Structure 1
Amino acid sequence: MASKEVIQRRAARVRRQLKAVANGRPRLSVHRTSKNIYVQLIDDANGRTLAAASTLDKDFKTSKKTGADTAAAAEVGKLIAERAIKAGAKEVVFDRGAYIFHGRIKALAEAAREGGLIF
């Protein structure tokens, strides 16, 4: 199998397990690239994005010089927690996608928890 197929299968496996335990909670989905990190709060029942944040947001771009480190991921985690609570979602399920839970993904998750999200 090609590398891209392996990554897609891993992400699908994680999502399948999350949907089994979600109980109607929205999904906090993370995507990272070499230069930025993106996160969305998705309501799978209605197929809508409730909130989103990334290192490309105007609020973020003025304060940091790079979006590719754990400090930037932590800032995005705090930002999504604030926006999610504003949207009315305090309990979520964390969708790490195909990424291992360490580094920037872990920093984002811990900052979101500190911001008030429960997962």
Structure 2
Amino acid sequence: MKLKNTKKLRLYIFKSNKHIYAYLIDDEKQKIITSSSTVSTEIRNKIKSLKNCATAQIVGTHMGVKIKQLGIKEIIFDRGKHLYHGQVKAVAEATRKEGIIF
């Protein structure tokens, strides 16, 4: 499934007390296109603890791979109310390492 939008999609980061979530959102259609989190089965098998920077990096890498598979190169990074530090920074840097620009 290749998306051919000229506008940028938004990567939104949400953190709960136990988990970290990353959503790729199309604001125009108000839909979540893809997501990745510590709850998803692909990641749950790879991690040892639920919420730390190493786990956030795995979530970011997984999200970057999914975004590349959709044919998207540029997005908008939305950290919500969180500072660009720690887990949020780990997700962002891991996504960038997969070649996603924001």
Deviation at 1:34, TM superposition (A): 2.1
Q: Deviations over 1:11-55 (max 9, x none)?
A: xxxxxxxxxxxx820000000112110000001111121110001
2:29 paired with 1:46: yes
Deviation at 1:67, TM superposition (A): 1.9
C-alpha RMSD over aligned residues = 1.1
Structure with bigger helix share is 1
Structure with bigger strand share is 2
* Structure ID, larger Rg: 1
TM-score with structure 1 setting the length: 0.78
> 1:18-57 to 2 correspondence within 5 Å?
24-57=7-40
2:52 paired with 1:64: no
TM-score with structure 2 setting the length: 0.90
Identity across aligned pairs (percent)? 35
**Structure 2 residue ranges without an equivalent (≥5):** 1-5
**Alignment-derived partner of residue 59 in structure 2:** 76
**Structure 1 residue ranges without an equivalent (≥5):** 1-22
Distance across 1 between alignment mates of 2:28 and 2:49: 35
Amino acid at match of 2:46: S
Q: Deviations over 1:85-117 (max 9, x none)?
A: 112221000000000000000000000000111
